[in-house]
A and B are shown apart, each in its own frame.
Chain A
Amino acid sequence: MNRSPTRATPLAARTILLFGIAALLCVACASTPQTETRTVFDFMDTVSTATLPASNIALADRLFDLCRDLDARLNAHDPSSEVGKLNAADGERVNISSDVSTLLNIGKEYFEKSGGLFDITIAPISLLWDFSSNSLPQSNALASAIPLVGADRLELGGGWARLPVGFGVDLGALVKGYALDRCADTLRAEGVPSALINLGGSVLALGKRLDGNPWRVGVQLPFGAEGATLGVLSVTDTCVVTAGLYERSFELDGKLYHHILDPRTGMPAATDLYSATIIYKNALIADAYSTWCIMAGAEKALGIVESADDMECVLYTADGSLMFSSGIGSAIPFELTGDGL
């Protein structure tokens, strides 16, 4: 073992040391670019937030104005709104804006696709329900409203619509999704690369976070505390829309009355799903599917979502189990959180 010593060796040790230090410096540098978040409470009876790059935060007010305007024009509860006037037209043709035209067409399309489960002409029934009052509508009023529902009776033409006398549309199931899509249009037109918009729980995740990671969107734990989640989706450039029995609902004599109404009975839909969360590039379509899934129930809902291209879902059943479409966990990562475990 007595070979002649080589002079160069301390160099070897020093090289190793330098290597280590260089490797460490790479770990040390990480900075996150700035975003800003605005929150408002004054439309759609709910909280809305917009998270934008600090340099684009001025756009938040434009987005909120856009949503306020849509909310005002599409509100079935306001007789002076565009939808209110359509509902009060007593069987006459009414000229409609392109926004209302889009929504009515989608409404009719999904009425047919869902075999009548998803029905935007639910207004005669839905206007009888007041979920803030904890009381039921009168049963004879409900009974007489049921024959006045059916989107097949809605006539649509270029720029006009006609409803039979006594009929009415309620776009409540679609308005947040539609507003999100208009927000996405605005943001894309302005060249904003990254934004997170939450309108009363419906989410537009435009692009990625500024740090390059996907947006992390929690899925509310039904009937849990606000912010308690079933899990967190990692999404890029898509929308996340949830329909759930826990929103706008009340309990009476031990029975839950929720806002997703069955056009056939006038009562809250009898379903084994507590919530249906749809992940899809278009929020309006996602909105329609989320309601349809609740109406269809757990067993059929998965098939409904799987038959739509590039759509994924997270379903939570009344017995407390989670169901996923095939792309959840692979194309779209989903991690469980402690609240839901």
Chain B
Amino acid sequence: MKRSARDIILLISMLAIAAGWYALSRDTSANAVGAIVWIDGFRSARLSLEQADEFTFERGGDINVVRIENGTARIVSANCPGGDCTRQRAISRAGELIVCVPHKLMITLESVPAFDTVAR
């Protein structure tokens, strides 16, 4: 086989892997109900997707503002260099995520309730 043909096959199979990975990792079984805000690897907050609201996360001068509306979550403003996180799409399905690399902040969605029980 010619080498240039091999390059094309490689390109196609890589795209196939990407498509397969995407199809399998998508959680279509349940609607997301909560957004988890991870800071430094810890689940720092859990925001209900059912209620429109805006939350400001500040840690050592790092600020990210998270907006919840219409069952979606996104970062509407942040003081990270570049502000890449504010350009990521609003997420609405379990398994989707938004990440702010400089602030080590990440938002993921989950389809399970916030808690098993409540102490009061």
CA distance A266 to B57 in the complex (A): 43
Q: Evaluate contact between B116 and A215: CB separation under 8 angstroms.
A: yes
Partner of A337, one of B1, B6, B47, B120: B47
For the complex, is A138 an interface residue (Cβ under 8 Å from B)? Answer: no
Which residues of A sit under 8 angstroms from B10, Cβ to Cβ?
13
Which of B20-28, B79-87, B100-108 binds A?
B20-28
A10-B9, A338-B45, A338-B48 are contacts. A217–B117 as well, Cβ < 8 Å? yes
CA distance A244 to B118 in the complex (A): 13
Q: Evaluate contact between B44 and A336: CB separation under 8 angstroms.
A: yes
Q: Evaluate contact between B25 and A27: CB separation under 8 angstroms.
A: yes
Partner of B120, one of A24, A196, A242: A242
Q: Evaluate contact between B17 and A16: CB separation under 8 angstroms.
A: yes
Which residues of B sit under 8 angstroms from A219, Cβ to Cβ?
118-120
For the complex, is B89 an interface residue (Cβ under 8 Å from A)? Answer: no
Q: Evaluate contact between A216 and B116: CB separation under 8 angstroms.
A: yes
A9-B6, A16-B17, A337-B48 are contacts. A220–B53 as well, Cβ < 8 Å? no
Which residues of B sit under 8 angstroms from A9, Cβ to Cβ?
1, 6
A16-B17, A17-B13, A24-B20 are contacts. A229–B45 as well, Cβ < 8 Å? no
Interface size on A, residues (CB 8 A): 51
Q: Evaluate contact between A13 and B9: CB separation under 8 angstroms.
A: yes
Of all chain A residues, which has the CB nearest B45? A336
Q: Evaluate contact between B116 and A24: CB separation under 8 angstroms.
A: no
Q: Evaluate contact between B9 and A217: CB separation under 8 angstroms.
A: no
User: For this complex, into which size category does the number of interface residues on chain B fall?
Assistant: 20 to 34
For the complex, is A240 an interface residue (Cβ under 8 Å from B)? Answer: yes
For the complex, is A335 an interface residue (Cβ under 8 Å from B)? Answer: yes
CA distance A71 to B117 in the complex (A): 22
Of all chain A residues, which has the CB nearest B50? A338
CA distance A13 to B5 in the complex (A): 12
For the complex, is A202 an interface residue (Cβ under 8 Å from B)? Answer: yes
A27-B24, A336-B44 are contacts. A217–B118 as well, Cβ < 8 Å? yes
How close is B8's CB to chain A, nearest CB, in angstroms? 10
Of all chain A residues, which has the CB nearest B3? A5
Of all chain A residues, which has the CB nearest B44? A335
A220-B120, A333-B42, A338-B53 are contacts. A17–B115 as well, Cβ < 8 Å? no
How close is B24's CB to chain A, nearest CB, in angstroms? 4
Q: Evaluate contact between B120 and A201: CB separation under 8 angstroms.
A: yes
Residues of A within 8 A of B (CB): 5, 7, 9-10, 13-14, 16-17, 20-21, 23-25, 27-28, 49, 51, 196, 198, 201-203, 209, 215-220, 227, 229, 231-234, 240-242, 244, 246-247, 275, 277, 329, 333, 335-339, 341
Extra contacts, 15 of them, besides A7-B1, A217-B119 (Cβ < 8 A), are A13-B6, A16-B14, A16-B17, A17-B13, A20-B17, A20-B21, A23-B21, A24-B24, A196-B116, A198-B117, A198-B119, A220-B118, A220-B119, A333-B43, A338-B51
A-B contact pairs, 8 of them (CB 8 A): A17-B13, A21-B17, A215-B116, A220-B119, A231-B45, A241-B119, A335-B46, A336-B46
CB-CB nearest 10 A-B residue pairs: A220-B120, A218-B115, A201-B120, A20-B17, A218-B118, A336-B45, A338-B47, A240-B119, A335-B43, A24-B24
